[in-house]
Chain A
């Protein structure tokens, strides 16, 4: 454990000083995630060994999900199974490193699956092929058969973590808005899914318009905006029981754009009174509220820094939407966005070092990142309509919604890494928008 912490620190130092890649030379197997890995690290993951009767299919599926996770990052490249020379037939047998070296697999992941009475145990090891050593120690995860994908994600998170020195993000969930129907009669439901789009579950029925769900830090609660009462109002939903209640219910007043503080006890949101929209905070337990901004302009989309001490938000007080940072208790705000165009939907990264945002400029929408003082702005995407970034738990990947143009326009979720590489669509059963990425489970 100490070793991992030590190497993580080393990575952070390197990340500041050494943009570019990537594969550490000569030393232990390692990817440095910095400005973007140009050459993915080749690895092999043969089918896991089935250690109990009838476990072959599960053993194959788990290995495939591990491969999808790793390859999906853009940091790793799988050496196809057809190229393998060695077969792994027993989890305990010695690895023939020469066979894996010959196909240039720098990392090898071996595993075994046993199941008994609905309980599944997954074991795995990670090997540094060129050094001929094991990377970290063998581990095992146990769970129910229907939780097999989570176990596969946990294996992949371990592999990712051991090779990059950073925590993974595969065993995580995303809450989002599932959309169906044409643009002028769209139905919206809250839904939650695995980070890769699997296991979609619906949380609301679709009768009332719902917008912008946000996970709490521990993933147990979701804040969202619902028109159930006819007015947009902030609701809170318990994920375990799927019970929800109105959090902000002042009569005749719109409340929206909620987000949890890192402590899970305070909620920030926008409240509209007359033509004026300001940011307020509420203590969930007591219901006590506090007004944090009091400008005659639109203040919305608040997001806490991970230490809870500051809030980034958008305001059009200057005449156009720009990003500002203020103390979590309110008070003087300083503007951090100064580039061309309009900036909105800021979200503080879980590492605390960056802010992701939506930018509109010259008729296009972008997802971008900047340092928390507004420097080093970098646009990651461009399209007709990109909106609403959310951070992977490790702060290395961003998910957002992209809506296509025209009468048939529809919204889908995409991921992109913070260097702007590896843009990928997340498959969902229907249209999807407003993603919020939950914690690593």
Chain B
């Protein structure tokens, strides 16, 4: 329910910033059609709101990538995670689940454990930078959920990832 409230505010902001339609509303007006039309999802354009999960995903960056069979965080990964830390500190009513993944070059059980190592590396970094541990948890999908499906390094490098999923308005 808190998500809906947040969502309404978000839509208000969007309506204001949408120049072509802005004249039709007072400054505080909400585009009800847009709100009722797509309640429960992330609407297109919401990424322009720095407080939105979509902004987190697209602008802050929700994922970090890993070398083959490794779970150490690269400097690029740390930079992305620093952005995540800032966002999570600012938006303290959001929690996060970190999903760890592996590419298909490995056996199933090992990749589950490897994905857990990666997700845990991200979680420990976020905690070390000040995010309360009780706002975070992790899960590994091993090689079960690739985002890219070709069988060469161009896909594998994107599948070896840990993705921080923002969960709206949950506690505990």
- List A residues at the B interface (Cβ < 8 Å): 182-184, 186, 209, 211-212, 230-232, 252, 254, 256-257, 270, 272, 274-275, 277, 298, 300-301, 314, 316, 321, 344-345, 358, 360, 384-385, 387-388, 403, 405-407, 409, 434
Contact = CB atoms under 8 A, between A and B. Distances in A.
A385 B149 contact: no
What are the nearest 9 A-B pairs in CB distance? Answer: A277-B113, A257-B109, A183-B149, A275-B120, A298-B113, A344-B107, A405-B151, A300-B109, A407-B149
Contacts of B49: none
Given A254-B116, A274-B120, A387 B104 contact: no
Interface string B125-148: 000000000000101110011111
Interface of B: 71, 104-110, 112-114, 116-117, 120-121, 124, 137, 139-141, 144-151
13 contacts: A184-B148, A254-B116, A270-B112, A270-B113, A274-B124, A275-B117, A277-B113, A300-B109, A314-B110, A344-B109, A358-B107, A387-B108, A406-B149
Contact of A298 (B110, B121, B149): B110
Contacts of B113: 270, 272, 277, 298, 300
A384 B151 contact: yes
A360 B120 CA distance: 26
Contacts of A257: 109, 112
A232 B71 contact: no
A272 B123 CA distance: 14
A182 B148 CA distance: 11
A384 B152 CA distance: 11
A153 B124 CA distance: 55
B120 to A, nearest CB: 4
A277 B110 CA distance: 9
Contact of B109 (A212, A274, A403, A409): A212
A316 B107 CA distance: 13
B63 to A, nearest CB: 15
Contacts of B147: 184
Given A298-B114, A344-B107, A345-B109, 6 more contacts: A230-B139, A256-B109, A257-B109, A272-B113, A275-B121, A409-B104
Contact of B108 (A182, A184, A211, A316): A211
A230 B139 CA distance: 8
Contact of B107 (A186, A230, A272, A301): A301
Nearest to B121: A275
A211 B144 contact: yes
A182 B120 CA distance: 28
Contacts of A301: 107, 109-110
Contacts of A409: 104, 149, 151
Given A182-B149, A186-B144, A406-B150, A254 B139 contact: yes
Nearest to A359: B107
Nearest to A188: B144
B109 A270 contact: yes
Given A254-B116, A405-B151, A360 B137 contact: no
Nearest to B106: A360
B151 A434 contact: no
A345 B107 contact: yes
B108 A388 contact: yes
Contacts of B148: 184
Contacts of B141: 209
A97 to B, nearest CB: 52
A69 to B, nearest CB: 30
Contacts of A270: 109, 112-113
Contacts of A230: 139
A406 B151 contact: yes
A344 B110 contact: yes
A409 B108 CA distance: 16
Contacts of B120: 274-275
A212 B109 CA distance: 9
Chain A CB within 10 Å, residue with most, of B105, B112, B139, B146: B112
Chain A CB within 10 Å, residue with most, of B107, B114, B144, B146: B107
B111 to A, nearest CB: 10
A298 B117 contact: yes
B108 A252 contact: no
A358 B109 CA distance: 12
Given A272-B140, A275-B71, A212 B108 contact: yes
A427 to B, nearest CB: 23
